[in-house]
Structures are given as C-alpha cells and as structure tokens.
Amino acid sequence: MQRIIAPSMLSADFGHLDRDTRMVDRSAAQWVHIDVMDGVFVPNISFGFPVLAPIRRATTKLLDVHLMIVEPEKYALRFVEAGADLVTIHYEATADPAACLRAIRAAGARAGISIKPATPVGVLRDLLPLLDLVLVMSVEPGFGGQSFIPEALDKIRELRTMIDRAGTATLIEVDGGISARNAREVFEAGADAVVAGSAVFKAADPEAEIGRILNA
C-alpha cells in the first residue's frame, strides 16, 4: 500500500505562502491539505477562496480541501471551481451528506467525508459507495498543533475492515497531531494518507521532515 502525506497549509507562513507551497511541491508529499474554517462549525476562522488561488498556482499536486464549515453544500462546488481536486465535507455539518457528495463528484472532483473524534465510523457504512475518502479526525477540528487522540487508531482499524468488506476503493486519511513519532502506527492501523501541519512547518528542515514522516 502506497503511503501518502498531505502537509497542512494551515501551519504555513502566510507571509510566504508561495515559498511554502513550492517547498511542498518539490517535496515527496503527494497531496496539499487545505483547512477551511468558518467560525461556526469550528471555533476558528482560517481562509477561503482568495488564499486557495495562489496555492493552486504554485503546485500541480493534488489539492485536498478539508471543509470545516456548516452547510458545505452551499460552497463545495466553488472549491472545485477554485481548483480543489478532492473536497472533504464533515458528516456532522450537513443534513444530507449523500447529496453533497454526489454533487462534488458530478463537478469532477473526488469526494470525501470527515468525522470528528466523537462520531463513530458506523454512520458512514451506507455512504461508502459515494466516498473516495474518509478523513478520520485525530484531534477536535479547529486548530493545528494539538495532541493526537490515541482512540483514533481503533477507529482507523474498524474503518479499514468496513471498507475492505464493502469492497470500495475508499481511501482513509487521518488528520491531527501526526508527526514522525506516531505516523508509523497510523499507517499500520490502516491509513492510506496522513495530514501533518505543525510537524512539517515547525521543523528546521520541512522538506526533510516530510520524508521522515513518510518513512516513519
């Protein structure tokens, strides 16, 4: 199984967004993770379309957009138009996740769903045929730099079994508190992709750190 790493631009230096995106672009990372927060679904506000545009221009890598916003159906397609290759919505943020996932795919992007630490993986069983990705949160969404919640490992294992039984090609991505110290157990639990924000951007050599996380 190929390991994927998605550095989170939330921890980049926004005064040097072009430089930091180009660093990710030449690194071993395959995806670029973009955290969009609305101050309602989570108690923090990050950035939106105007910030996505220069990131899109600075990399050809897969843009992995994580929407931490209520009613994602209102904005998901605008993120596809802005260059997102994969749009992930939160299960807890919408009354009709299936309709939103179908719309994202119809617009030509891959569709993902994320679950907060308290949401059990079982709620996703019937949605699997619509899902290119499930994003398991290993911290409460809203902020970078938090500690990994170890209970996430059991959720990853349970989800891996559920996906294997369903026979879909759904990838598992894990987000929050991941570094070279714990990436190995996250991958071994069944994750295909890991997000890393502060571990990458606070490292003395971010590009080398991406390699260390991939090969943990």
By annotation, the residues acting in catalysis are: 35, 175
Residue 176 partner contact from ligand DX5, Zn ion, none using kind-dependent CB cut-offs of 5 to 8 Å: ligand DX5
Rounded CA gap, 79 and 69, in Å?
12
Answer with the entry of Zn ion, ligand DX5, none that 39 interacts with (C-beta below 5 to 8 A by kind). Answer: none
Q: Which entry of Zn ion, ligand DX5, none binds 196, CB below 5 to 8 A by partner kind?
A: ligand DX5
CA-to-CA distance for 145 and 189, rounded, in angstroms? 22
User: Cβ 9 to ligand DX5, closest distance in Å?
Assistant: 8
Q: Which two tokens stand for residue 52?
A: 């996505």
Beta strands 31-37; 4-7: pairing state: unpaired
- For the bound state, the minimum distance from the C-beta of residue 147 to Zn ion, rounded and expressed in Å, comes to 15
Sole residue written with tokens 């989800």: 159
Residue whose Cβ sits closest to ligand DX5: 197
Minimum distance from residue 31 beta carbon to ligand DX5 (Å): 12
Q: For the CB of residue 167, give the shortest distance to ligand DX5 in the complex, in Å.
A: 29
Identify which of residues 47 and 168 has a Cβ nearer to ligand DX5 in the complex. 47
Q: Which residues contact 26 (CB under 8 A, 6 or more apart)?
A: 207
Q: Which is nearer to Zn ion, 97 or 197 (CB)?
A: 197
Crossing angle of helices 49-58 and 17-26, rounded to 10°: 40
Residue 197 interface partner, choices Zn ion, ligand DX5, none, CB cut-off 5-8 Å depending on type:
ligand DX5
Q: Are 104 and 80 in contact (CB under 8 A)?
A: yes
Q: Return the CA Rg of the chain.
A: 16
